Amino acid sequence: MLGVALKDRRADGWGFQSKFFAPNHGEILQTLLETAKELGRPPAEVALRWVMDQPFMTSAIVGARNVEQLGETLKAGGWRLPAEALAKLNGISAQPHKYPRAFEDPIPARRVSALKMPGGAKP
């Protein structure tokens, strides 16, 4: 079903340039499909649940094209992803931080390593 939907959308001219995808988007999709199979749920339902299980998430967009797809994705509201599945999906989809966070993250460690406290351990 997923492949059919993608083919239809591509034929309709829907599509995103690869620059909008994570470099490992194939691995992310494969992990999502495997997780959905393990949970016995449709991929769209698991994907929506994954989005809804993110911290500070206040809404999610459902891209259903028909009533069947809408019904399938709305079932995501009645359960939570198991902790292991959430960790697996979050782990595979994590991307490196960008500026300014990539610049700021190492600062505390650099400060600590630069300190030479009296009576501290000798190198």
Nearest CA to 47 out of 23, 14, 73 is that of 73
pLDDT at residue 119, as a whole number: 64
What does the pLDDT read at residue 49? 95
| Contact (CB, 8 A) for 60 and 32 | no
pTM of model > 0.85: no
pLDDT tens across the length of the chain (123 residues):
444 455 566 666 566 677 778 889 899 999 999 999 999 999 999 999 999 999 988 888 888 889 998 988 889 998 999 999 999 999 999 988 778 877 888 888 888 888 776 665 555
- Listed by start position, the domains of the chain span 2-114
Q: What angle do CA 63, 48, 19 make, to 5 degrees?
A: 70
The alpha carbon dihedral of 69, 57, 78, 42 has a sign of positive
